[in-house]
Amino acid sequence: MNSSPRRAPLDHDAVRFLERLKAAGLPPIHQIPLAQARAGSASTVVTADPIGHVEDLSISGPEHPLKLRIYRPEADARAPGRLPVIIFFHGGGWVFGSLDSHDGLCRRMCRLTGCAVVSVDYRLAPEHPFPAAVHDAQAAIRWVAAEAENRRFDAARLVVCGDSAGANLATVAGRNLAGEIQVAAQVLWYPVTSFGMETPSYLENREGYFLTRAEMDWFTSQYLPRPEDARHPDAAPLLAEDLSALPPTYLLTAGYDPLRDDGRAYAKRLIDAGVTVHFTERRGLIHGFMRRLDDFQTATDVLRETDTFLRSTFGAAREPGDPRTVASIR
């Protein structure tokens, strides 16, 4: 997982996306009012794949009702058994994002994997700073596990998944619930794992590639009310003392992403802890490409690769102390 000796060229889809972004002349998100920035972030609309069923509901959260959206594949109506279930936490720097912002991604993930998907509308900062989102993530996982029989979910094939800040919540919540709830796998797309911001990837990609270092500084200031929170393992999972209880992991990084090296470091720590890791890096891609399915063909490719990983994980017996690691750099 060391830094690549040669910088790969930007993917053609990334070039086109960045050109459109530059032509739009939008101000940086941290320099405009929060409500306006949230409205702009929510404006990304992608193709809504047809699936079997979508249900919005509200459950009891730690301090307030917690909204969920459940997606079921078309085959579910004909299938007699229980569905594997993916609990999904959206990205957005803990400040942006909603059930709607990642609706297209959840639909396609449901269609391509054949899994039920439960998307979680956790509380956002700065109104609800750390650790509110962590507590909501844990409440959602507990609810899915408790409701598995009623909802025809397969509790033995429960997966946590997220992109960026959502991947951070997925792995933190899964680690905190180890021993209470069995998570079969975690899927982490360009996760936030640390707040050091001095790695080579932060320096190489500090600006010009969608997510900037200045924006990450701003997201961090909104989410973490105290400087010492940045060293808490529930905020920075890379700093957790013990990762050995975490399940088989699919971990994706992007070459032109400030978060790249922190993702690589987390993959290495998991491997060193004996966790089975499928690590893949899309060297020509930028942060945030997974939810922009109409702009980036690679997003659908990653979903298909995620499906392969999950099928392999569900069908394979884990041998303690025998990590199986696959690395893919593209």
SS3 327: strand
Count the Cβ atoms, other than its own, within 10 Å of residue 70.
20
CA distances from 107 to 69, 102, 128, 227 (A): 11, 9, 28, 37
Catalytic site residue from 257, 261, 262, 278: 257
Residue 257 annotated to the active site:
yes
Catalytic site residue from 90, 102, 135, 287: 287
Catalytic site residue from 164, 234, 261, 278: 164
CA distances from 305 to 177, 187, 282, 291 (A): 27, 11, 12, 16
Residue 136 annotated to the active site:
no
Residue 164 annotated to the active site:
yes
Asked if 211 and 202 touch (Cβ cutoff 8 Å), the reply is no
SS3 70: strand
Structure tokens at 44: 């990304």
Distance CA 29, CA 32 (A): 6
Catalytic residues, by residue number, are 164, 257, 287
